[in-house]
Amino acid sequence: MENTPKRRQSISLTSVANGLENMGAELLESLEEGRTPGNVSSPAEARDSWTESRPEPFSRWRNLRPALRARRFCQEHTRLFRWVCAGLLCTAFAAFLLMASLLDFQRALALFVLTCVGLTVLAHSLLKRLLGPRLLRCVEPLGHYRLGLWFERALALSAFLGLVSWLVLDTSRQPEQLVSFAGICVLVSLLFACSKHHRSVSWRTVSWGLGLQFALGLFVIRTEPGFIAFQWMGKQIQIFLSYTDAGSSFVFGEAMVKGVFAFQVLPIVVFFSCVMSVLYYAGLMQWVIQKISWLMRATMDTTATETLSVAGNIFVSQTEAPLLIRPYLADMTLSEIHAVMTGGYATIAGSLMGAYISFGIDAASLIAASVMAAPCALALSKLAYPEVEESKFKSAEGVKLTGGDTQNLLEAASSGAAVSVQLVGNIGANLIAFLALLAFVNAALSWLGAMVGAQELSFQLICSYALRPVAFLMGVAWEDCPVVAELLGIKLFLNEFVAYQELSRYKQRRLAGAEEWVGGKKQWISVRAEILTTFALCGFANFSSIGIMLGGLTSMAPQRKSDFSRIVLRALCTGTCVSLANACVAGILYVPPRAAADCTALLNTTVSSSSFEVYQCCREAFQSTSPEVSREALDVCCRFYNHTICA
């Protein structure tokens, strides 16, 4: 009876505070190692009293020794189990891909391409880890200063001779391509004339940036694999964006989604923003941005922070890309800040790209323009504002990309959708304000013009005359220059959203087979002019974006507000030149397809509606004097178009 209270007192609150689970775990480990709980030293008094008073229940723990051994075995072979599970999953996926490819390879092409890309990335990382140090030791003798200098000179000379030879041979049939080449020369000359520090221009950075831009354009526009790849990518993006209709139809109704612009286009921004947030949480976007920035940094010798920001602008907007380097903005040089601003003005956000694709704008051209703008933005930025200070970020070491503040996948998706609400609101408000302002300005100009006999005076008409030389230097045919100049003016003084909307209307008229001229006004422009305009409008470089740029950067680094305000206009002009240089490169490389429709077969069949092919065939039929054009074909054309022959 005397031992009973002692036993109760021996179970102190200290052991309870340490946690019953921890005590149980220690007891289990002691049993597994063949020790009795009484041998455990901590806490000594509680364990001794517990052992002396209750020896019988511990015999039950012996039955759990197989489970403890199994747990210990699993812990020791965790890595092996992971490899086995990964091998089984890879085998199952390979079997699935093989079966899908055998049944319908065309349907499984997207999965096959993604698998090849993933395998290439894994192989590259594996080879870099295994053979990287050996390759670096082999390349070290080649890094001699004089040898590297002569190699750069030889490479520059070869590139110059190759460009001259290519221009001579390729432009013999298309002289307008030389006009586009002259446009690039004019833009580079103007930026050099207005450069902040003429003697400090790094021509290596400028030449490499323009060279990378030209190489990307050559791959996308001229080579068949690149053209097919970007066309395929554009179609996949269109299919991907079409899934927005499921959510939009549920919230707004199917009739509203199909008939109202706001409910048809703006939900795409929400969906795309949600997807981008998920990709950032998964780390995929950071990996892609780092690889692109590594290529530009290695060739152009730019700093890590500015290169990361410009590479991020390919996917995100002008205020989101600087968030990647937010901790370093306070210590960046003026030239680096100018490059960050120029990259923001020279590209568009991925979410808005989805909206423009929904307009009917060519997806491949939009994607190519956004990718090509990155190296060109760095090149022209260093031409307009060369580096004269000592940067703290020449090396990529210590500069890391953040993955955001989200903690899980669902939070990333939810926060991406929530953040886009502000963007959708800004787009809607800007469209209402700027379109209303444009209508007011046109009414005021028409009222003033009527006093002097110029009733047709408008903002678009002024832009068509002021910017017509710019459109011509891009390589646009002279008859299309007034329309293209109007669109450039709308993009520069209003925003690119309104300009792309107007461009889509011209394209829809062309595809519908409308008359080219109605009352002396052009209703649509050629395919070449559409492509070049798509490249020229791809960017946030407009006066309404100045406030957005200053507000975003100032919130990240308030102490640099005066520096941001001092160089924002120069960056805006440089970003505009980047978009125009993109269009000039497209003008050098783009050749209209020569495949024409079979007009005889087309017009001799029952045509229910007009199209661009019908318009081309009918125009040839009206101008032809050949007896091969049948009366039935002319009757088909007269049903859609007015001509003197129809009378």
- The pLDDT of residue 259: 65
pTM: 0.79
Of 548, 274, 291, give the one whose Cα is nearest residue 413: 274
- The pLDDT of residue 567: 94
Angle between helices 363-384 and 176-193 (to 10 degrees): 30
Element (H, E) at 521: strand 521-522
Element (H, E) at 494: none
Torsion of CA 500, 503, 509, 515, to 10 degrees: 170
Q: Does 132 score more than 70 pLDDT?
A: no
Quote the CA–CA distance of 370 and 527 in Å, as a whole number. 20
Quote the CA–CA distance of 516 and 148 in Å, as a whole number. 56
Quote the CA–CA distance of 275 and 236 in Å, as a whole number. 15
Q: Does 267 score more than 80 pLDDT?
A: yes
Q: 482 or 105: which carries more pLDDT confidence?
A: 482
Q: Mean pLDDT across the stretch 614-625?
A: 84
Q: Which tokens sit at 318?
A: 């002008």
Q: Which of 75-84, 305-314, 425-434 is least confident?
A: 425-434
Burial label, 553 (beta-carbon count in 10 A; 0-12, 13-18, 19+): buried
Interval 575-603: pLDDT, tens: 999 999 999 999 999 987 765 667 877 87
Most confident of 132-141, 383-392, 635-644: 383-392
Contacts of 487 (CB under 8 A, 6+ apart): 499, 502, 503, 533, 536, 537
User: How sure is the predictor about 520, in pLDDT bands with cuts at 50, 70 and 90?
Assistant: confident
Q: Mean pLDDT across the stretch 404-423?
A: 82
DSSP state of 517: E
- The pLDDT of residue 23: 52
Quote the CA–CA distance of 104 and 106 in Å, as a whole number. 6
Quote the CA–CA distance of 179 and 590 in Å, as a whole number. 13
- The pLDDT of residue 96: 92
User: How sure is the predictor about 15, in pLDDT bands with cuts at 50, 70 and 90?
Assistant: very low
Quote the CA–CA distance of 186 and 192 in Å, as a whole number. 10
Q: Which amino acid is at 242?
A: S
Quote the CA–CA distance of 292 and 299 in Å, as a whole number. 11
Q: Mean pLDDT across the stretch 602-626?
A: 82
- SS3 string, 562-586, reads HHHHHHHHHHHHHHHHHHHHHHHHH
Q: 636 or 131: which carries more pLDDT confidence?
A: 636
Element (H, E) at 607: none
Quote the CA–CA distance of 522 and 511 in Å, as a whole number. 14
Q: Does 349 score more than 50 pLDDT?
A: yes
Interval 46-103: pLDDT, tens: 445 444 445 445 455 555 567 777 777 777 888 888 888 989 999 999 999 899 989 8
% of the chain at pLDDT higher than 90: 27
% of the chain at pLDDT higher than 70: 85
User: How sure is the predictor about 454, in pLDDT bands with cuts at 50, 70 and 90?
Assistant: confident
Q: Which tokens sit at 234?
A: 């554009």
- The pLDDT of residue 521: 87
Q: Mean pLDDT across the stretch 143-157?
A: 71
Of 242, 284, 552, give the one whose Cα is nearest residue 403: 284
- The pLDDT of residue 397: 64
Average pLDDT of the chain is 81
- The pLDDT of residue 343: 94
Q: Mean pLDDT across the stretch 529-537?
A: 95
Q: 21 or 348: which carries more pLDDT confidence?
A: 348
User: How sure is the predictor about 10, in pLDDT bands with cuts at 50, 70 and 90?
Assistant: very low
- The pLDDT of residue 4: 47
Q: Does 312 score more than 60 pLDDT?
A: yes
Residue 522's SS3 state is strand
Interval 199-224: pLDDT, tens: 899 998 999 999 999 999 998 888 88
Q: Does 386 score more than 70 pLDDT?
A: yes
- The pLDDT of residue 139: 55
Give Cα separations from 473 to 124, 365, 415, 459, 583 (angstroms): 42, 19, 44, 22, 10
Q: Does 44 score more than 60 pLDDT?
A: no
Phi, psi values for residue 517, rounded to 5°: -125, 130
